[in-house]
Structure 1
Amino acid sequence: MDEGVPIPPKVQDEDSRLEPTVDIRRDEDDNLVEEYRMDGQVYMVKITPKNGIPYYYVDDDGDGRLELRESDRSAYPVKPVYWKIKEWH
């Protein structure tokens, strides 16, 4: 082999460039906000309220607009939960 020829740079695998990035931060109400990006475009946002159940905004149709995921709509408005505290027989 000719020692004057440099070794070519490592070729990046196609799949490794398709991994999303996640930015995690807290908003002004101390809710945890996770923004998922692919190629610089936000495609999903997960919001975990300080005292509540997480919900997601997702760009399902690729139009650049985030919509509340249909499965999460049932959680809003919040329905009351009833617990049995005491029972007499």
Structure 2
Amino acid sequence: DGSSAKRPRNDSSLSSTPSMPSSWSSSTEGITEDSVRRYLLRKPMTTTELLQKFKSKKTGLSSDKLVNTIAQILKKLNPEKQTIKGKLCLSMKA
């Protein structure tokens, strides 16, 4: 895979979740637990809206990798689920 060709980036100073393995965060370029949490703290969003946010960021991930990555992060964060206008929205309380 081409991930080893990318220049190594030291994320340890930026990452507020040191428990996350570094190999995991480098393979999910641009999608971190922190960024997902920030979106959900701002306003309730559906999973589709969340995916759209990251798709527009040009993460370089294929869409099924993107879905899997966000799904893993959501499982870890365990956000509140609420139905708004018939749609399941996820949100987090500060």
Q: What TM-score range do you get, normalising by the shorter chain? A: under 0.3
State the structure with more CA Rg. 1
**RCO greater where, 1 or 2, for CA within 8 Å and sep 6 or more?**
2
Q: Which has the higher helix share?
A: 2
What TM-score do you get using the length of structure 2 for normalisation? 0.24
